[in-house]
Amino acid sequence: MVTSSVPRLVIAAPSSGSGKTTVATGLMAAFAARGLAVSPHKVGPDYIDPGYHALASGRVGRNLDAYLCGPELVAPLFLHGARGCDIAVVEGVMGMFDGAAGEGELASTAHVAKLLRAPVVLVVDASSQSRSVAALVHGFASWDPEVRVGGVILNKVASDRHEALLREALESAGVPVFGVLRRVAQVDTPSRHLGLVPVAERRGAAVDAVAAMAQQVRAGCDLDGLVSLARGAGALSCAAWDAAEVLSSSPPPPLPVPSPGAAAPSTPLPGGSAPWTPAPQTPEGLNFPSVSGYEPPHGQVIAIAGGPAFTFSYAEHAELLTAAGAEVVPFDPLRDEHLPDGTAGLVIGGGFPEVYAAELSANEPLRKAVSALAETGAPIAAECAGLLYLCRELDGQPMCGVLDASARMADSLTLGYRDAVAVSDSSLAVAGTRMRGHEFHRTVVEPEAGDAAAWGVRVPRRRLEGFVQRGVHASYLHTHWASVPGVARRFVERCRTS
């Protein structure tokens, strides 16, 4: 049995807006300034906070999502990110006990803290209370005896007198106070329709914001006490996740070979319901070798979109593609007029193309290059922002025209976890493959699905979603490939044979 004990803290709060991001990011930067190697993590699917974490710590920000990846992968993925680190800081999501809707504690901050055997530091907005803070903290500390609330950081404290009242009240709760942050002008972290503005769009201003968070935390928190608390985390009895190892033990599902005239197999909806009939789109020439004899193909260039317009990506995706034998090359659709030399496949993740629609449209050479690549049948995996970029137009601005669909901004936000089943064979998955995903957008695409859809989902309504055509797999659904690592190997293999 492999055991590891990386010192670690989970930063939680009673609700959103309490100051978790300020405290977590400030702690990462403050610890890093002391010379500690800090591993930054975020509970849940959010892509934006990990960008600030990376800026604070100097290491890639990583997500820990028990819904997308399953509870069994939380600790291995944590240990993967924390390799060689002196301390890890995990920022929670929403309120401490808020998780996937209708799924109990699943994917909540409390759930992840238990899976990591990590002490929790509760960040409390104390701006409108004094003695009542003790009842609040006592409730959170005692609600689940398996969650260890090791201390409190009080935020938005008005004065010395206010601080004294809060500390006096918390003595009765028996929970240590590890910090007090005064009510000051808010750190400049502007938001818009999907949350904070990503680091890649703010550049120098983001650096200044992280420095201000670090200064607040240094001035108001007991850093030595927090390090000591982190060292009290329990040992984890599992091995760190490794991309090469999981690929060797998780081959892609074999492609079906339908008999002439045979009916296509039925694919049931997630949760059990009337089946859909998947549309076979079997790529020719794929012959996945057995695991024991598998030698990953080398030299397949897979371009991954980046830059300010496409900032949403899980680090494990590129690691899996690399382990599968690909050469991963980033490019910026706002500035680069050509795809990287030798591009055999393309991954376009999430982001904010709606903010940069005019600039993306103006880069006509790249739009034509993406369209030409799609015409060859090369694999293209597009999620959310990538889906919009492949459409005919976005808010009236010409896009790549790979999909006969148009996209526009919407009045309402679409947000939530999804349980999905692939309804068409594609460069990512065989029909019937089940994956969990997450939607997070304020746009609509018309039509919602192509003749061959990417996914079928039941919640919040039963529907077909996304597009599969030739090598293209385009969808609003954000997925985490660590949950089904064979999709990366499948994608690379398709690059080799397309």
Q: What backbone phi and psi angles, to 5 degrees, belong to 420?
A: -125, 155
Whether residue 384 lies in the annotated active site: yes
Q: What backbone phi and psi angles, to 5 degrees, belong to 460?
A: -80, -5
Residue corresponding to tokens 């397949």: 300
**Separation CA 495–CA 491 (nearest Å):** 6
Q: Which of 69, 107, 190, 130 lies closest to 437, judged by CA?
A: 69
Q: Which of 133, 180, 173, 130 lies closest to 155, judged by CA?
A: 180
What 3-state DSSP class applies to 315?
helix
List Cβ<8 Å contacts ≥24 apart for 132-136: 132/169, 133/166, 133/169, 133/170, 134/169, 134/170, 134/172, 134/173, 136/14
Instruction: Spot the catalytic one: 384, 391, 400, 495.
Output: 384
Assigned token pair, 10: 């989970």
**Separation CA 229–CA 208 (nearest Å):** 29
Residue corresponding to tokens 């030798």: 342
Half-sphere exposure (CA, 13 Å, Cβ side) for 161? 0
**Separation CA 43–CA 109 (nearest Å):** 6
Instruction: Specify the DSSP element, H or E, that contains 120.
Output: strand 120-125
Check: CB of residue 403 under 8 Å from CB of residue 467: yes
Q: Which of 273, 263, 256, 265 lies closest to 456, judged by CA?
A: 273
Q: How far apart are the first and last CA of the chain?
A: 42
Q: Give the residue ranges of DSSP H helices in 221-297.
A: 223-230, 243-249
Check: CB of residue 164 under 8 Å from CB of residue 126: no
**Separation CA 137–CA 157 (nearest Å):** 16
**Separation CA 414–CA 69 (nearest Å):** 21
Q: Secondary structure of 430-447 in the HEC alphabet?
A: CCCCEEEEEEEEEEEEEC
CA distances from 231 to 147, 217, 219, 226, 322 (A): 16, 19, 22, 9, 34
Instruction: Specify the DSSP element, H or E, that contains 304.
Output: strand 300-305
Active site residues: 384
